[in-house]
Homo-oligomer: A and B are copies of this chain.
Amino acid sequence: MKHYDKQDFPLDQIRRFLEPGPIVLVSSAHKGERNLMTMGWHMMLGFAPARFGCYLWEGNHSYELIRRSGQCAINLPTADMVDTVVGIGNSSGLDGDKFKRFGLTATKAAKVAAPLVAECCANFECVLADASQIERHGLFIWDVVKAHVAVSPKRPQTLHYRGDGEFMVSGPAISRKAKFLPGNL
């Protein structure tokens, strides 16, 4: 699988990649253990700080690593990685290291202990901003503190999960920029 040349990306613009609703890979590390999971229930919650919410099920092996470390990385896979994404979602960290199992490269993050997936076209380092909704709603609220984004492609083909084993692959772009009020872009 391809590794991407990435650059720092402005945190207040990460909605470009996360707002369209892609499936992402969540990486985590805690006390010498690391893991990787597939995740589709997430949303933007703010521009500055760059705030992001996601639902994690307590049955996932990653759940405690993420909760205890208070950190994670959100990694954006492209559509060609669909079988890796499905494999990661249908295996457990209890059965061995998923980076090795799926041939993925863990690279060092700048601000969190969670490893970044080199084969993903974007990586977002996250620090827990609000733990108060974890128990009630399974909702983790994050501040994204560092973003690494591939120089190319500018519009990666992403996977969007519909349930029942089916993904929608992102399609063409259309712009209506000229019809927006400047404050609404």
Contact = CB atoms under 8 A, between A and B. Distances in A.
Contacts of A155: 162, 168
Size class of the A contact interface (CB-based, 8 Å): 35 or more
A133 to B, nearest CB: 7
A93 interface: no
Interface string A23-52: 000000000000000001111111000010
Contacts of A137: 45-46, 51, 53, 130, 141
Contacts of A160: 19-21, 160, 170
Q: Pick the most buried of A17, A83, A162, A185: most chain B CB atoms within 10 A of its CB.
A: A162
A20 B168 contact: yes
Interface stretch (A69-77, A116-124, A175-183): A175-183
Interface stretch (A1-9, A84-92, A100-108, A143-151): A84-92
A89 B146 CA distance: 30
Contact of A179 (B46, B165, B173): B165
B165 A19 contact: no
B185 A164 contact: yes
Q: Which 8 A-B pairs have the closest CB atoms?
A: A21-B21, A165-B177, A171-B171, A20-B160, A43-B43, A169-B171, A86-B176, A166-B175
16 contacts: A16-B164, A19-B21, A20-B160, A43-B43, A51-B137, A53-B137, A79-B174, A83-B179, A157-B171, A160-B170, A164-B177, A165-B176, A165-B185, A166-B176, A169-B174, A171-B171
